[in-house]
Amino acid sequence: MSYLIKPKNYNAFLNLAETEMGIKKIKDFFQQNLSSELRLRRVTAPLFVLKGTGINDDLSGKERAVTFPIKDLNEAKAEIVHSLAKWKRLTLVDYAFEPGYGIYADMNAIRSDEDLGNLHSLYVDQWDWELVMSESERNVEFLKEIVTRIYAAIVRTEYLVYEMFPEIKPILPKKIKFIHSEELLQMYPDFTAKEREDAITKAFKAVFIIGIGSKLSNGEKHDNRAPDYDDWTTIGEDGFPGLNGDLLLWNDVLERSVEISSMGIRVNPQTMLYQLELTGTEERKNLYFHQRLLNNELPQTIGGGIGQSRLCMFYLRKGHIGEIQASIWPEDMREEALKAGMILI
Chain segment 190-202, per-residue pLDDT in tens: 999 999 999 999 9
Q: What is the pLDDT averaged over residues 5-18?
A: 93
CA pair distance 276, 281, nearest whole angstrom: 5
Residue 331 is among the residues annotated as catalytic for this protein: no
Tell whether the model's pLDDT for residue 242 goes beyond 70. Answer: yes
Residue 44, classified by CB atoms within 10 Å of its CB into exposed (0-12), middle (13-18) or buried (19+), is exposed
Residue 259 is among the residues annotated as catalytic for this protein: yes
178's CB contacts (< 8 A; 6+ apart) are 144, 147, 207, 208, 210
Tell whether the model's pLDDT for residue 62 goes beyond 80. Answer: no
By three-state DSSP, how is residue 179 classified?
Answer: strand
Tell whether the model's pLDDT for residue 289 goes beyond 60. Answer: yes
Residue 57 is among the residues annotated as catalytic for this protein: yes
Name the active-site residue from 259, 284, 292, 334.
259
Confidence (pLDDT) at 164? 96
Residue 111 is among the residues annotated as catalytic for this protein: yes
Residue 231 is among the residues annotated as catalytic for this protein: no
Name the active-site residue from 58, 128, 246, 323.
246
Q: In the structure, what pLDDT confidence band is assigned to residue 179 with cuts at 50, 70 and 90?
A: very high
Q: What is the pLDDT averaged over residues 204-215?
A: 97
Q: In the structure, what pLDDT confidence band is assigned to residue 342 with cuts at 50, 70 and 90?
A: very high
Confidence (pLDDT) at 60? 57
Mean pLDDT of the chain: 94
Residue 262 is among the residues annotated as catalytic for this protein: yes
Name the active-site residue from 181, 214, 257, 262.
262
Confidence (pLDDT) at 307? 96
Name the active-site residue from 31, 83, 89, 111.
111
Per DSSP bridges, beta strands 102-110 and 244-251 are unpaired
Global pTM value: 0.94
Least-confidence region, from 41-45, 57-61, 89-93? 57-61
Distances, alpha carbon 210 to alpha carbons 203, 229, 270, 274, in Å = 17, 15, 21, 19
By three-state DSSP, how is residue 73 classified?
Answer: helix
Please report, for the chain, the start and end positions of each structural domain, with discontinuous segments joined by +.
16-339
Tell whether the model's pLDDT for residue 55 goes beyond 90. Answer: no
Tell whether the model's pLDDT for residue 59 goes beyond 70. Answer: no
Confidence (pLDDT) at 63? 72
Confidence (pLDDT) at 157? 98
Considering only the C-alpha atoms of the chain, give the largest distance between any 2 of them, rounded to a whole number of Å: 57
183 within 8 A of 207, measured Cβ to Cβ? no
Name the active-site residue from 35, 57, 79, 309.
57
152's CB contacts (< 8 A; 6+ apart) are 33, 37
pLDDT digits (tens, 9 = 90+) for 72-115: 999 999 999 887 888 999 999 988 999 999 999 999 988 888 88
Name the active-site residue from 31, 121, 126, 308.
126
Give the CATH class of 16-339.
alpha beta
